[in-house]
Structure 1
Amino acid sequence: MADVAARAGVSGQTVSRVVNDSPRVDPGTRARVEEAMSQLGYRPHRAARALRTGRTQTIGLLVSTLATVGNSRMLQAVADAAAARGYALTVVTLGAHPDVAAAFERLSDQGVDGVVVLNEVTAAATETPAPRGLGLVVVDAPPDAESRRRFGIVQSDHAGGARAATTHLLSLGHGTVHHVAGPAGSFAASERERGWREALAAAGAEQPPLVRGDWTAASAYAVTAPLVADPGVTAVFAANDQTALGVIRAFADAGRDVPDSVSVVGFDDVADAADYRPPLTTVRQDFDRLGELAVAALVAGIEDGEPGFEIVPTELRVRASTAPPS
């Protein structure tokens, strides 16, 4: 840093401010210091910085599995947002039998400054005290007062999206809407179920029994059998797009085409949703925005000690998988 300061004709403190992206450096000076850093091949030393600041510029991501599209999309979004802020990322997956306390200790031992927790892990994570000094932001958790005091929360408007999907199907003339739900214990699944029920109640429509899958197309295909066998089922709201894919296949195998015989709406708007056959009406989640807000809230908590709360809007995308009942 002394060499950079001498080359740029500034103080060592100014170089430090540039390295740490402080706003207290005018653009001309910043450009001169960055040019000197480039000429001299200067790179900040993470280990030395960690010893000086007590922070490693590394965050953790705690997730049950990366096999689901939503979680893998969130991994990409969090990784991109962390990199944009100069943070490295360490990922821990828990599998079917999570030991959240051990995962927190593992991440703490690796020196992460904070952790982003995703979806299915949130219930266990919110009940498990994090090691002292470890920042925490949870993506999709109940925003009760105690939780908001302890950690930051970022979530999609799952209930609002589900209401929009269900209301869309009812507006087409369907008498009611059936629901193939996500797994029990998932906050996102429970919120989508809540939105579905609220829309039916608001319309005075019958609330039929739901069937429950595990986010996968194979699971949805298996549990949809009772719906396929009932000719009165003309509209289905699926908990996510993979679930919708399984639902469409189950009805198609029974000779009931979508949307002629039954309309189907998904949730997420995955990259291939518009290429399903037929193109899928679905609720779009803004995964990039979720990742940006999660990392921003975590960094703010690390640096300022103030956990935040953000809800990201969802948007209904109407395509060819929905139509009035025949």
Structure 2
Amino acid sequence: MRTPPTSRQPVIADVARLAGVSVPTVSRVLTGNIPVSEEKRQRVEAAIEELNYRPSSLARALKSGQRNMIAIFAASTSTYGYANTVGGIEEIAQAEGFSVVVSVVKSAAPSDVKAAMEVALQQQLAGIIVLDFDPSAAEVLKQLPENIPVVAASGFSSGQPGFPYAYLDEYAAGREATEHLLGLGHPMVHHLGLYPLTQFSGRYQGWFDAQVEAGITPPPVLEASRELRSGYEQGLKIATSPDITAVFCSNDGLAIAALRALSEKGIRVPQDVSIIGWDNQPFSEFTWPALTSVAPDFNDLGARAFRLLHRLLKGADRVDDSTKSPRLRQRESTAPYAPRA
């Protein structure tokens, strides 16, 4: 896909022509408001790169007399928590007359942070919401310009100073999940977590502190990655470890993968091992047995983050943080302690 050089600046119609799509399709790719097929998105992005196209958001903003674009910085748009938080922001933002553009920050590396910020800051933004779930978001918050209102959403126990935060109280939920298992008589609760990220999360600290306060030395984390197979592999290890009778997992996917491995090895859940997940994804109540899981309301988290930003945009002198605690949904995957054979 090659075009001859030209002295004028490319416009959106040039991008559409080169990519072989309509102008509205290019607009949808740029704003992220309406999904397009992966194949079309790749063609549009390739055309944008080849033409070195820069959207004329300034002209649009001047014509309308106002800024009505909100940028969201996130490390992912596909994983459950990220996707539902973005959805919560977008739903309420559109109801208030704002458009949303999502900029994915692939990692905390300076080049990735710079690339994500350049894409978003080309827009004439009314404000920014950062999903501060990981190190990449923390780097974005450190580098954003001071002349744009910024709010963050997070599940960590505390945020960076200078920004209003919408929080999920992961610490309280992590304690509740752990105390539930200890209350069932389990002598210790293991944590199957995304290592090393889990060590910096509220859910991990709640798990850790609940056991320390019960006079228990927390065991080492059962290390996993975002790849579900890592949960399955840890499940195979749990199956050969009779001292492990209760496991608190950092997401439902890892919990389900571990459950599968235990089932294959003849380890019964919950009679031999109790398992708790995190996210309360729709499939969790239909597993066998149905998965007990912590239920963060990510959609509400996104809505709360936008409301904080909206107050800033309206000129509020003070905007306080917003915090809600996820609740434990008790199902069939936890039971009173019984020694494993």
Scaled by the length of structure 2, what TM-score is found? 0.74
Measure how far apart 1:185 and its partner are: 3.8
The equivalent of 1:14 in structure 2 is none
CA distance in 1, matches of 2:193, 2:138: 18
The equivalent of 2:306 in structure 1 is 295
CA distance in 1, matches of 2:288, 2:113: 40
CA distance in 1, matches of 2:153, 2:336: 36
Measure how far apart 1:47 and its partner are: 7.9
The equivalent of 2:138 in structure 1 is 123
2:152 counterpart of 1:138: yes
The equivalent of 1:236 in structure 2 is 247
CA distance in 2, matches of 1:54, 1:186: 45
Measure how far apart 1:53 and its partner are: 8.1
Measure how far apart 1:304 and its partner are: 1.8
CA distance in 2, matches of 1:224, 1:133: 49
Is the CA contact (8 Å cut-off) linking 2:185 and 2:336 kept in structure 1?
Answer: yes
| Aligned counterpart in structure 2 of residue 191 of structure 1, from 191, 202, 205 | 202
CA distance in 2, matches of 1:271, 1:74: 15
Structure 2 segments unaligned to the other structure (5+ residues): 1-56
Task: Give the number of aligned pairs.
Answer: 276
Measure how far apart 1:49 and its partner are: 8.4
Is the CA contact (8 Å cut-off) linking 1:56 and 1:113 kept in structure 2?
Answer: yes
**Paired residue secondary structure (1:72):** helix
Pair 48,93 (structure 1): closer, same or farther in 2 beyond 3 Å = closer
The equivalent of 1:312 in structure 2 is 324
| Aligned counterpart in structure 2 of residue 101 of structure 1, from 114, 120, 142 | 114
**Paired residue secondary structure (1:227):** helix
Structure 1 segments unaligned to the other structure (5+ residues): 1-45
The equivalent of 1:110 in structure 2 is 123
Residue identity opposite 2:74 in structure 1: V
CA distance in 2, matches of 1:160, 1:245: 23
2:237 counterpart of 1:226: yes
Q: Identity, % of aligned pairs?
A: 30
Is the CA contact (8 Å cut-off) linking 1:183 and 1:215 kept in structure 2?
Answer: no
Residue identity opposite 1:123 in structure 2: A
Residue identity opposite 2:120 in structure 1: L
Measure how far apart 1:320 and its partner are: 0.2
Pair 112,290 (structure 1): closer, same or farther in 2 beyond 3 Å = same
Measure how far apart 1:308 and its partner are: 3.5
**Paired residue secondary structure (2:201):** helix
Measure how far apart 1:216 and its partner are: 4.3
The equivalent of 1:321 in structure 2 is 333
Deviations 1:166-219 (A, max 9, x none): 0000111111000011243468x6211100011111211231111222344322
CA distance in 2, matches of 1:231, 1:129: 49
Is the CA contact (8 Å cut-off) linking 1:215 and 1:240 kept in structure 2?
Answer: no
Measure how far apart 1:282 and its partner are: 1.0
CA distance in 1, matches of 2:288, 2:144: 45
The equivalent of 2:16 in structure 1 is none
**Paired residue secondary structure (1:148):** coil
Residue identity opposite 1:134 in structure 2: I
Is the CA contact (8 Å cut-off) linking 1:61 and 1:91 kept in structure 2?
Answer: yes
Measure how far apart 1:54 and its partner are: 6.3
| Aligned counterpart in structure 1 of residue 103 of structure 2, from 60, 76, 92 | 92
The equivalent of 1:33 in structure 2 is none
CA distance in 1, matches of 2:101, 2:219: 43
**Paired residue secondary structure (1:258):** coil
Pair 214,139 (structure 1): closer, same or farther in 2 beyond 3 Å = farther
Deviations 1:68-118 (A, max 9, x none): 111111121111121121111101112246522332232121112222112
The equivalent of 1:153 in structure 2 is 165
Pair 319,299 (structure 1): closer, same or farther in 2 beyond 3 Å = same
Pair 258,324 (structure 1): closer, same or farther in 2 beyond 3 Å = same
Is the CA contact (8 Å cut-off) linking 1:101 and 1:130 kept in structure 2?
Answer: no
User: What RMSD in Å do the two structures reach over aligned CA positions?
Assistant: 2.4
Is the CA contact (8 Å cut-off) linking 2:157 and 2:170 kept in structure 1?
Answer: no
Scaled by the length of structure 1, what TM-score is found? 0.77
The equivalent of 1:34 in structure 2 is none
**Aligned counterparts, 1:1-326, within 5 A:** 50-51=61-62, 55-96=66-107, 98=109, 99-118=112-131, 119-120=133-134, 121-126=136-141, 128-140=142-154, 141=156, 143=158, 147-149=160-162, 151-185=163-197, 190-304=201-315, 306-326=318-338
